[in-house]
Structure 1
Amino acid sequence: MAKSPTKDTIVNDGLNYKSKAGGSPFLESSYLGAATMSCFLCGKHRSRQFLKTRKLIGKSHTVCAPSCKELAELEAK
């Protein structure tokens, strides 16, 4: 007999999931250039080649280059 599919549920203490798959959805690589970072403005994870550093609120943050809107349009194509 086949097992019935289990749904992800939060355990009563609220700290753990039942049947949640482990690991990260982002690639892990020892090569720093292959890593992803999130854009400070839109929050999407992108490869470092699509990010630039920009000074916002008195600190340097990584943001999409040339802009979040242009990269979103490129992804949609």
Structure 2
Amino acid sequence: MAKETTKTTIEADGLRYRSKAPGSPFAATSSFGAATMSCFLCGKHRPRAMLKSKKLLGKSQPVCSPSCKELDAQIAAK
């Protein structure tokens, strides 16, 4: 069974997909501190203020602070 090939065409405005929402899901910010990064453990994007550096696998990686579960609980409570 081969996958069905889908034909796409590039529109005049340069867009190829019609069903995708335009733009990035991560808003562009002008300040570095308001940017988001993904947690190395859970993969969720968080503001840099909600992350801390932790040495994992010999490198400093951004992880949720205090932990991924506690941070999810705090956000859900708001």
User: TM-score, normalised to structure 2's length?
Assistant: 0.74
Task: Provide the C-alpha distance between the structure 2 equivalents of 1:31 and 1:53, rounded to a whole number of angstroms.
Answer: 20
Shift of 1:13: 5.3
Tell me what 2:6 maps to: 12
Whole-angstrom CA distance in 1 between matches of 2:7 and 2:32: 37
Alpha-carbon distance in 1 for matches of 2:7, 2:48:
38
SS in 2 for 1:52: strand
Tell me which residue corresponds to 2:66: 66
Task: Structure 2: give runs of 5+ residues left out of the alignment.
Answer: 9-15
Q: Distance in 2 between matches of 1:47 and 1:38?
A: 9
Asked if 1:27 corresponds to 2:21, the answer is: no
- In structure 2, relative to structure 1, the CA distance for the partners of 1:13 and 1:59 (3 Å cut) is farther
Q: Which has the higher strand share?
A: 1
Return the alpha-carbon distance in structure 1 between the equivalents of residues 7 and 57 of structure 2: 38
Mapped partners of 1:23, 1:54: distance in 2: 32
SS of the equivalent of 1:74 reads helix
Identity %: 61
Cα RMSD after superposing both structures: 1.9
Unmatched 5+ residue regions in structure 1? 1-10
